[in-house]
Amino acid sequence: MFARIAVIAALATLAACGNSAENRQLKETRAKNLALQAEAEKTAKTVQVAGSTFRVAVITSESYALVKRTAGTGSYTVPTVEAAARLGSGCNAEFEGGILEFLTGDLNSTDLEALSARISKFNGWRTNLSC
C-alpha cells in the first residue's frame, strides 16, 4: 500500500516538473509574444463593425491580429471579428479558433461575448492574416 502511494507521488512530481528545457522555451516564447502584443497595442486601430467598436492590434511579423470589442452590447460572432480584423489590417483574416473548435459546434454562430467575459487576461481573439 505504502509503495503504491510512493510510486503515485513520484509520478505526480515528475509530471508536474516536466522538462525544464521545454518549460524554459515555453516561457521565452510567451515573453516574446507578450512583447510583440504590447508593441502592437501602441499602434492598434479602432474600427466599427455591426454597431460595435473593436480594437485591432496587428502583429505584422507573425501575421496575426488580436481583435477585442471595446464598446457595444449583445453578442458578436466569428464573422464580426474577422470583419474587424480585415478593416483594421487591410488583409484577409481567418479566426484562429484554437481549443474552441473542439468545445463548440458551429464557431460562426458562437457567442464570443459570453466566452470572452469568462477569460481572465483576455487580450483579444486571434485572427490569422494573409496580405
| pLDDT for the residue numbered 82 | 97
User: 20 lies in which domain range?
Assistant: 1-42
pLDDT of residue 12: 54
Question: Are 74 and 112 found together in one domain?
Answer: yes
CB 65 within 8 A of CB 88: yes
The C-alpha cell that represents 30 in the structure block:
510567451
**Cell numbers representing residue 121 in the block:** 487576461
In the block, cell 468545445 appears at 103
Number of structural domains in the chain: 2
As a whole number of angstroms, the distance between CA 86 and CA 84 comes to: 5
The pLDDT profile of the chain, 131 residues, written as one tens digit per residue, is 444 554 455 545 555 555 677 888 888 888 888 888 889 899 999 999 999 999 999 999 999 999 999 998 889 999 999 999 999 999 999 999 887 777 667 788 888 988 888 887 888 999 999 99
Note whether 129 and 89 are same-domain residues.
yes
CA distance 45 to 95: 18
**Looking at the structure, do residues 48 and 37 belong to the same domain, yes or no?**
no
Report d(CA 114, CA 75) in Å as an integer. 7
